């Protein structure tokens, strides 16, 4: 994979593709994690006297139309605050202001451009040739074959991976190739179907797999337990039953139930005491789960195990985060909700590495060669 540190870009005009897809409410950035992760590469280029045009997508606007709700302006303002110098917002690829105002600029939302998601080569060529070099530093989008994440990399005169992407890949490779046993994986989320490849892959690698969320409900149902009105994938019950035969998957012994996700109170029930009307929104970590985390040498975490945004259903995720933080294992966490839970409940530095990727993180851990990384020379 071609790396930024191997290129001589002093005084050059560079396009830097980042993942600045951050949550925004009332025109304010709610979580700056991805912005802060991008700072080292930006500062490196500024120190090399480069002029830098930052690009990113934000949310899912209708292609080809400007929508103020998906404008990058709040991101430009937050970047200016973090970097302590002004970041000008560039509204169009055809603007004469590109590389001609502030040293670092931010292009409006890439998804306002026709052809971004469809990987149009014409758009890729235009992005690739705005400057002297094209730097890709958006691991969170590396699994998507789009104009800015694939074609632009392939068509640029000089293209390379930024410092964040390099660090992400090195950390994930360590987890994949230098796994020390015991290796424990925690996989949670609403659906087995979205993480089937990951769970199947981990079933051959991990010593123990703790499941949570709707995924745990489907496994519980596969083992004959009543999950009431909880979120469950009925068409994946047989798949869950086969995966469970490995003997590696740990299921909760106690769950937290309530009438609805907005309930202010909840009740802890043994898994063999769940009623037809119950809805499961959290789980308690069993002694077996706490023991495997404590004795692990490698831990992979993807997905909160309960609806941690709601106070009655936080305890499972809090206990999980704190037990990982206390562990002496090499711990790797990935996915937007997982990182949000870490930021909410523990010191991020107590996790060995937090990946900025969601889907990219999952696919890389499944062993897939991501399109952007392939375009960078793999």
Cβ atoms of residues 133 and 12 within 8 Å: yes
Whether 169 maps to a domain, the answer reads: no
Instruction: Point out the domain boundary residue: 108, 138, 163.
Output: 163
The pLDDT, as a whole number, for residue 181 is: 94
275 with 354, same domain? yes
268 with 209, same domain? yes
71 with 200, same domain? no
The pLDDT, as a whole number, for residue 101 is: 95
56 with 128, same domain? yes
CA distances from 226 to 220, 223, 242, 270, 271 (A): 8, 9, 19, 11, 8
51 with 116, same domain? yes
d(CA 75, CA 57): 11
What average pLDDT does the chain have? 95
In this structure, what are the phi and psi dihedrals at residue 246, rounded to the nearest 5 degrees? -65, -25
Whether 62 maps to a domain, the answer reads: yes
d(CA 358, CA 352): 17
The pLDDT, as a whole number, for residue 83 is: 96
Cβ atoms of residues 373 and 147 within 8 Å: no
Q: What 8-state DSSP symbol labels residue 68?
A: G
186 with 291, same domain? yes
223 with 357, same domain? yes
Instruction: Point out the domain boundary residue: 134, 163, 192.
Output: 163
The H or E element containing residue 51 is strand 51-55
Within 10 angstroms of residue 211's Cβ, the number of other Cβ atoms is 29
On the question of pLDDT at 267 being above 80, the answer is: yes
d(CA 334, CA 338): 6
Whether 168 maps to a domain, the answer reads: no
212 with 311, same domain? yes
Mean pLDDT of 220-225: 97
The pLDDT, as a whole number, for residue 6 is: 96
On the question of pLDDT at 20 being above 80, the answer is: yes
Range of the domain at 259: 179-365
32 with 119, same domain? yes
Whether 378 maps to a domain, the answer reads: no
224 with 300, same domain? yes
Whether 277 maps to a domain, the answer reads: yes
CA atoms in the 13 A half-sphere facing the CB of 22 = 25
Q: In what order do the strands lie in the sheet with 254-258?
A: 267-270, 254-258, 279-284
Strand locations in 253-372, DSSP E?
Answer: 254-258, 267-270, 279-284, 298-302, 330-334, 353-355
CATH code, domain with 94 = 3.40.50.1260
- Domain count within the chain: 2
On the question of pLDDT at 349 being above 80, the answer is: yes
Nearest to 243 by CA among 178, 192, 180: 192
User: Could you tell me which residues come within 8 angstroms of residue 156 by beta carbon, excluding any fewer than 6 positions away?
Assistant: 15, 128, 129, 133, 134
> Residue 5 corresponds to which tokens in the numbers above?
């540190």
d(CA 338, CA 7): 34
State the pLDDT confidence band at 174, using cuts at 50, 70 and 90. Answer: confident
Instruction: Point out the domain boundary residue: 163, 198, 229.
Output: 163
The H or E element containing residue 16 is strand 13-17
217 with 338, same domain? yes
Burial class (CB in 10 A: 0-12, 13-18, 19+), 340: middle
d(CA 332, CA 299): 6
CA atoms in the 13 A half-sphere facing the CB of 114 = 3
> Residue 127 corresponds to which tokens in the numbers above?
């992005």
Whether 90 maps to a domain, the answer reads: yes
The pLDDT, as a whole number, for residue 173 is: 87
d(CA 170, CA 208): 24
pTM equals 0.83
Whether 111 maps to a domain, the answer reads: yes
User: Could you tell me which residues come within 8 angstroms of residue 68 by beta carbon, excluding any fewer than 6 positions away?
Assistant: none
Nearest to 206 by CA among 234, 186, 228, 232: 186
State the pLDDT confidence band at 326, using cuts at 50, 70 and 90. Answer: very high
On the question of pLDDT at 175 being above 80, the answer is: no
Q: In the chain, where does DSSP find H-type helix? A: 33-47, 73-83, 121-128, 152-155, 163-177, 196-205, 213-222, 237-244, 287-295, 315-326, 336-345, 359-365, 371-375
d(CA 54, CA 292): 43
Sign of the CA dihedral running 348, 161, 82, 69? negative
Hunting for tokens 């690698």 — which residue is that?
205
231 with 151, same domain? no
Sign of the CA dihedral running 246, 324, 333, 329? negative
């Amino acid at each position: 994979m071609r790396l930024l540190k191997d290129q001589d870009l002093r005084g050059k005009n560079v396009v830097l593709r980042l993942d600045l897809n951050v949550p925004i409410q009332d025109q304010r950035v709610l979580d700056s994690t991805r912005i802060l992760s991008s700072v080292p590469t930006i500062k490196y280029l500024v120190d090399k006297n480069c002029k830098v045009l930052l690009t990113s997508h934000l949310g899912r606007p209708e292609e080809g139309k400007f929508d103020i709700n998906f404008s990058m302006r709040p991101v430009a303002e937050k970047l200016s605050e973090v970097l302590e110098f002004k970041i000008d917002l560039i509204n169009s690829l055809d603007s004469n202001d590109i590389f001609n105002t502030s040293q670092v600029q931010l292009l409006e939302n890439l998804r306002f451009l026709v052809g971004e998601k469809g990987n149009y080569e014409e758009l890729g060529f235009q992005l690739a040739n705005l400057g002297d070099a094209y730097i890709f530093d958006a691991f969170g989008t590396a699994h998507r074959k789009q104009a800015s994440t694939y074609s632009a990399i392939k068509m640029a005169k000089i293209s390379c991976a930024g410092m964040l992407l390099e660090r992400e890949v090195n950390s994930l490779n360590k987890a994949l190739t230098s796994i020390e046993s015991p290796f424990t994986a925690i996989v949670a989320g609403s659906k087995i179907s979205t993480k089937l490849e990951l769970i199947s892959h981990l079933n051959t690698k991990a010593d123990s797999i703790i499941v949570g969320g709707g995924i745990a409900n489907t496994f519980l149902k596969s083992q004959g337990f009543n999950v009431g009105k909880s979120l469950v994938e009925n068409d994946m019950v047989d798949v869950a039953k086969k995966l469970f035969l490995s003997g590696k998957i740990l299921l909760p012994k106690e769950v937290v139930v309530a009438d609805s996700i907005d309930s202010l109170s909840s009740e802890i029930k043994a898994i063999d005491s769940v009623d037809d009307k119950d809805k499961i929104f959290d789980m308690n970590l069993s002694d077996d789960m706490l023991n495997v985390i404590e004795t692990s040498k490698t831990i992979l975490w993807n997905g909160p195990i309960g609806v941690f945004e709601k106070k009655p259903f936080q305890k499972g995720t809090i206990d999980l985060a704190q037990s990982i933080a206390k562990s002496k294992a090499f711990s790797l966490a990935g996915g937007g909700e997982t990182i949000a839970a870490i930021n909410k409940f523990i010191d991020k530095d107590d996790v060995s590495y937090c990946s900025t990727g969601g889907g990219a993180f999952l696919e890389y851990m499944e062993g897939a060669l991501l399109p952007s990384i392939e375009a960078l020379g793999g």
